[in-house]
């Protein structure tokens, strides 16, 4: 050894190994979040829906191997291809083992014939994205809509049962049963991603829209207690919506309206949180931080959506979002247009949450008393007061009328019901502002 060369001791090597391990774990975590669903979709398209659970198992096994291998040997040039190759080999081994165990002649490679038969079947529909195709598979009309959405969100979007239950306004136990029944039904039907027809894509498109919509919603307002925004979910939802809006087979007015809606909201993501991670209301946001590129794209797609003869909830929501994005400030907002947008939305897709937002818009347009009357009408129909935003809206309108006692009680109830730390912190800020307003009114 050349004496002039530096000698690496334990103190030098250990930090490098630890750093490599940390980097590999970071990459595996990244691929688990971003690539796991795509990997499962690709494997399922190759090996068939009957091997869906196998695809999930080998995808997880491949990620576990990556954690070990990449720590020792470094990250490969194409991590996605590495994961697919490992997972695919694991799947082939498992299928071959099961085929030989179940066959009378152990010398016949039944697995190879099975795999080839799946690979040879492909349609001429120009949608190449495996994940999107699998969402269409989930949305089979023989499966109830709520089960379709639950299965797609669970297996292809990485949602937990609790997150799905929150999105669908049901229980975790119900979600688990829906997913199990949907998987059993799809395996029995044997509909493969490569065998979907143009008619299949057209019939399933509304439910696919619903999955993409809920995927973005979870990213925009996360159910995780310590994380308000999950940007990766928003980005994936926009990507899927863009494919739907651009492909001739799915390029309907509803697809354009959905994409416009997601782009309008995505443009405001950065401005929704301050430097400390606290949530900012629309009236508090610095509108100069809104992404003009995304806003322009949103208006372009909204224009295309209005050229269609169809009218969906996404048209109404995109109209409302467009009105907010056109305004230079809260005071500059045309609240009559916002209210009319919610009138349309409530007629197309009745919902207590839509009616709640309509009541807030009425409060801005016609005054706090009119807004309170609209809120009371909502609560009289059902348990709207179990929703924390109902209480925050009630508190805001009460404060505007000078009813600080009821405003404080409503904010305290909202704090108890708020699902995330960021939303609880926002309500605490509202309580502080209310206290200051009460003090000023007494002076």
pLDDT at 394: 92
Helices (H) and strands (E) in the chain, counts: 20, 0
**Which parts of the chain have pLDDT scores under 70?**
1-34, 102-128, 222-228, 380-385, 437-443
Q: Which helix (H) or strand (E) holds 435?
A: helix 421-442
d(CA 158, CA 164): 10
- Residue with token string 């997972």: 87
Q: What is the pTM of this model?
A: 0.80
What phi and psi values does residue 171 have, to the nearest 5 degrees?
Answer: -105, 160
DSSP helix/strand/coil, 108 = coil
* Spatial contact of 55 and 40, defined as CB atoms under 8 Å apart: yes
pLDDT at 9: 41
d(CA 331, CA 365): 11
User: Hey, what are 264's tokens?
Assistant: 């309008």
Residues 6+ apart with CB under 8 A from 214: 149, 153, 167, 168
CA 443 to chain centre: 48
Summarize pLDDT for 103-137 with one digit per residue, the tens: 655 554 555 545 554 444 445 455 668 888 888 98
Give just the sign of the alpha carbon dihedral 426, 430, 435, 440: positive
d(CA 382, CA 262): 29
* Spatial contact of 70 and 93, defined as CB atoms under 8 Å apart: no
CA 29 to chain centre: 18
pLDDT at 161: 85
pLDDT at 278: 77
- Residue with token string 């969100």: 153
Give just the sign of the alpha carbon dihedral 122, 125, 129, 132: negative
pLDDT at 383: 62
CA 143 to chain centre: 21
């Amino acid at each position: 050894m050349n004496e002039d060369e530096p000698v690496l001791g334990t103190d030098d090597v250990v930090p490098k190994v630890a750093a490599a391990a940390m980097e590999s774990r970071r990459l595996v975590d990244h691929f688990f979040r971003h690539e796991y669903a795509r990997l499962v979709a690709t494997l399922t398209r190759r090996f068939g829906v009957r091997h869906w659970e196998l695809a999930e198992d080998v995808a997880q096994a491949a990620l576990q191997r990556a954690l070990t291998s990449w720590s020792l040997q470094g990250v490969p040039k194409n991590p996605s291809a590495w994961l697919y190759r490992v997972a695919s080999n694991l799947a082939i081994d498992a299928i071959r083992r099961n085929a030989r165990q179940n066959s009378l002649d152990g010398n016949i490679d039944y697995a190879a014939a099975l795999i080839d038969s799946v690979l040879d079947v492909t349609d001429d529909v120009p949608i190449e994205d495996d994940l999107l195709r699998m969402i269409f598979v989930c949305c089979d009309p023989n499966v109830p809509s709520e089960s379709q959405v639950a299965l797609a969100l669970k297996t292809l979007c990485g949602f937990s049962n609790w997150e799905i239950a929150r999105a669908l306004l049901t229980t975790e136990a119900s979600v688990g049963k829906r997913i199990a029944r949907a998987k059993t039904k799809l395996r029995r039907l044997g509909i493969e991603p490569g065998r979907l027809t143009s008619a299949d894509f057209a019939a399933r498109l509304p439910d696919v829209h619903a999955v993409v919509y809920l995927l973005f919603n979870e990213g925009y307002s996360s159910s995780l207690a310590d994380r308000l925004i999950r940007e990766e979910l928003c980005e994936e939802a926009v990507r899927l919506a863009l494919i739907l809006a651009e492909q001739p087979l799915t390029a309907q007015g509803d697809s354009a309206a959905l994409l416009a809606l997601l782009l309008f909201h995505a443009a405001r993501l950065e401005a929704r949180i301050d430097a400390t991670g606290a949530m900012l209301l629309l009236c508090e946001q610095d509108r100069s931080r809104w992404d003009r590129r995304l806003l322009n794209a949103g208006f372009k797609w909204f224009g295309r959506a209005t050229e269609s003869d169809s009218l969906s909830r996404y048209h109404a929501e995109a109209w409302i979002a467009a009105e907010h994005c056109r305004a230079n400030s809260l005071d500059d907002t045309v609240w009559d247009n916002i209210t009319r947008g919610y009138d349309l939305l409530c007629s197309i897709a009745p919902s207590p949450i839509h009616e709640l937002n309509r009541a807030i818009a009425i409060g801005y347009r016609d005054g706090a008393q009119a807004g309170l009357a609209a809120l009371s009408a909502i609560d009289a129909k059902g348990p709207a007061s179990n929703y924390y935003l109902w209480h925050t809206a009630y508190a805001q309108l009460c404060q505007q009328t000078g009813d600080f006692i009821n405003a404080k009680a409503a904010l305290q109830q909202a704090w108890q019901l708020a699902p995330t730390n960021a939303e609880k912190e926002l309500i605490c800020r509202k309580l502080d502002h209310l206290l200051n307003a009460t003090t000023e009114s007494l002076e």
